[in-house]
A and B are shown apart, each in its own frame.
Chain A
């Protein structure tokens, strides 16, 4: 690890939204007030110190930013208004770019032009694919009066495309998680951790992904609920469209209580509640966690909202037998969804869905390595 103090790193970090890191004079109030501080975890103070001195290698081995759920108490009690919570948020962006080997993450976080250009490029590609690659529009209805959505967007092609996208995204994400593993567990403990420990602690990963218990430790429990509704809605919807597409995308219109529709409704409502809470929060800026919104925060919310809205519209038009409107919304839905998944999940804000539970897992590995040495 490089031990040289580097005042240029803080300048670099500024591009990720970090501001006034020098205001902190290390009184430790943030560490004391944080409901998530545990023995051996001195965050957010430790990371601020490393940032102030520009110690890039040491920062990149830190798992702590992912363990912070930004309740904002540290920022509220900070006597110098150094805003440690926001510093941790910015660090998560920085770490995402460190884990990413393609370099795109850094481009998206530090340049609005790059991010918008990528979104627009993929949106155009999707629209073009529908217009030129897929079969021509068929605006007639089926015998039962349903919209012929499967002939407009044949299951086989869409499913093939879904799986391809899922593999690309998963491949990128897994390679980045391996890089995270190398830094946090390998470099962070300066030696490996036994395979048994890996297996013993593995349930932490699943448990934290599904329940997000750490988030619920923040004093305001409502955000844990909003976030959980959003996360579960998103996950259900993701599984429905990738794994169960033939079952989910049918021309037959099932009754409203049918599992296909009720799962879809749950996911939609979950997403809407979560999104509304986040948008209102970021708009009103009453909580400290919502006061400083980075471009990537808004972009993510807007794209997801648009995805949900177009998804709802597809459903309404399909149920009411309006083929053309359904198809237009379908194209719009895909034109937003595809760039969102491709950019947000491996390179930007949504990568946290993987990094956060893995961070808890890696922290456990780190901890067991440390206790072994002692």
Chain B
């Protein structure tokens, strides 16, 4: 059976979620593998949200925020960036391919970029194949 990855995406309300809405109002077409969860700011993306997604079986996690300097809350996206670097290291140590976690800046006007991002990320995750996290965790009962 064809592998249909599931990508959990955390989009900030002001830039990226609006950008994703714009892709819709512009009727752009992209791959149906993404599941968006809205947060007020990319700074709100708690590492536990990312780990929980992987633990529950997500094949990829995407975080999108405002471009540097454009954060609605001044600097939440910078906090997110720092946290992202740590999360990358952490998941690598946990045996998860670091490519499964991705951060991208999407502004409210970048519907096209968002659509392209979803397509390229889906392709990347398809190449990596299904994530083994949930299976391994259940085998180890953690």
Task: Decide if A and B touch, CB cutoff 8 A.
Answer: no
A interface residues with partner B (beta carbon < 8 Å): none
